[in-house]
C-alpha cells in the first residue's frame, strides 16, 4: 500500500469561502491525508462563512471518512489584491466588512502565520484565487483597468504569496495553483483578460519552480481543472454549458467532481510527487487531449436546443 501521508504538515489554502469550490475540496483532501489546514477568505465573504460554520450548516461537507469533522486550524481574512495593508484604498479599509478584520493583505496573513506558529511553520501553499471584474466582456471590450485587475488578482497574487510565505516554509514544501484550459486555447466567453491571466499563472509557476527549487528545494505545480459549477464559476453564466460540452466530448464522459481535484492536489503536495515540479496537471476527464469534438452532431443539436 502506498498512502498519501501528510501527517505533521501544515497547509495554507488561499481562497476558501464556502464548501462548493475546489479550494474547499483541496483543503479537505489535505486534511484527510493528515495535514492541519489554515485558510484565507475574502473579507466580504468571511462573516457568512464563519456563520455557516458556527451554525453547523456545513457539517455534512465537513464530515471526514473516519467519522470526525474537518476542523480548520485558522481562518484568516485575505484580499490577495493587496500585498500590504497600505496598498488598499482607505475607503476600502473603512468598509464594515474590512475594518474589523485587521490586516487582510498578503503581508498580514504571513505575519499572522508567523505569530501563531513561528518562523518555520508551513509545508503547503495552495492558490485557489481568481477574479476578473470584466470576465463577462469580450477581450475587445475589456478596459485596461479590468485587464490588469484580472492579472493582479489571478496571477500576480501567486507570486506575492510565494514571496511572503516561502520564508515560513519548511524543507521539501510544495506550492500549488489552479488554472483552466483557456490558458492554452480559446474559450469564447471567458473574457476580461482572464484567459491571459491563467496563461501568466502557468508561466509564472514554471519560473517559480526553478527559483524556489534552487533556493529552498520547494516544488511548484499547477492543476488545470475542468469546468465545475462552483458558486464563483456559476456567476460567469456559461458554466453549465461548458460542463455539458465536456461530458459530450471528454474521454471520460462524466462530470468532474471537486473531490477529484482535491485528490490530485493531495498527491502533488505529498512526498509521492517529490520528483514533480513546474508541471501543469490536467484534471479534466481528459478533455485537453481532444483535437476536435467527439460528437459533432450531438453537439450541434445540444447547442441548438440551448
In the block, which residue shows the cell 462573516? 47
Rounded to 5°, angle at Cα 130 from 128 and 134: 170
Grid coordinates representing 201 are 499563472
Residue ranges in 11-131 assigned as alpha helix (H): 22-32, 43-54, 59-62, 90-93, 96-99, 106-117
Residue 180: active-site member: yes
In the chain, what is the straight-line distance between the N-terminal and C-terminal CA atoms, in Å? 47
Grid coordinates representing 92 are 476600502
Residue 246: active-site member: no
In the block, which residue shows the cell 491571459? 196
Grid coordinates representing 135 are 470576465
Among 76, 147, 180, 287, which one carries the catalytic annotation? Answer: 180
DSSP designation for 14: E
Among 156, 190, 228, 287, which one carries the catalytic annotation? Answer: 190
Grid coordinates representing 189 are 466567453
Which are the catalytic amino acids?
Answer: 180, 190
Amino acid at each position: 500500500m502506498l498512502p498519501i501521508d501528510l501527517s505533521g504538515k501544515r497547509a495554507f489554502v488561499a481562497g476558501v469561502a464556502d464548501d462548493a469550490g475546489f479550494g474547499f475540496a483541496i483543503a479537505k483532501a489535505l486534511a484527510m491525508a493528515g495535514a492541519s489546514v489554515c485558510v484565507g477568505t475574502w473579507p466580504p465573504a468571511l462573516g457568512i462563512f464563519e456563520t455557516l460554520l458556527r451554525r453547523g450548516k456545513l457539517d455534512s461537507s465537513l464530515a471526514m471518512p473516519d467519522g470526525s469533522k474537518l476542523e480548520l486550524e485558522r481562518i484568516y481574512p485575505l484580499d490577495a489584491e493587496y500585498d500590504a495593508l497600505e496598498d488598499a484604498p482607505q475607503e476600502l479599509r473603512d468598509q464594515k466588512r474590512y475594518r474589523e478584520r485587521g490586516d487582510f493583505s498578503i503581508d498580514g496573513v504571513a505575519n499572522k502565520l508567523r505569530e501563531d506558529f513561528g518562523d518555520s511553520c508551513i509545508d503547503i501553499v495552495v492558490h485557489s484565487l481568481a477574479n476578473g471584474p470584466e470576465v463577462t466582456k469580450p477581450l475587445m471590450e475589456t478596459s485596461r483597468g479590468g485587464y490588469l485587475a484580472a492579472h493582479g488578482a489571478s496571477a500576480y497574487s501567486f507570486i506575492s504569496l510565494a514571496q511572503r510565505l516561502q520564508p515560513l516554509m519548511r524543507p521539501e514544501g510544495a506550492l500549488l495553483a489552479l488554472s483552466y484550459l483557456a490558458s492554452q486555447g480559446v474559450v469564447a466567453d471567458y473574457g476580461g483578460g482572464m484567459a491571459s491571466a491563467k496563461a501568466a499563472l502557468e508561466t509564472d509557476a514554471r519560473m517559480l519552480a526553478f527559483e524556489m527549487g534552487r533556493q529552498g528545494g520547494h516544488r511548484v505545480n499547477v492543476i488545470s481543472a475542468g469546468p465545475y459549477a462552483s458558486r464563483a464559476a456559476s456567476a460567469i453564466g456559461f458554466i453549465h454549458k461548458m460542463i455539458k460540452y465536456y461530458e459530450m466530448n471528454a474521454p471520460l464522459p462524466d462530470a468532474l467532481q471537486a473531490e477529484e481535484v482535491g485528490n490530485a492536489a493531495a498527491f502533488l503536495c505529498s512526498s509521492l510527487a517529490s520528483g514533480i515540479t513546474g508541471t501543469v496537471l490536467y484534471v479534466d476527464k481528459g478533455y485537453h487531449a481532444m483535437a476536435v469534438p467527439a460528437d459533432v452532431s450531438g453537439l450541434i443539436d445540444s447547442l441548438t436546443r440551448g
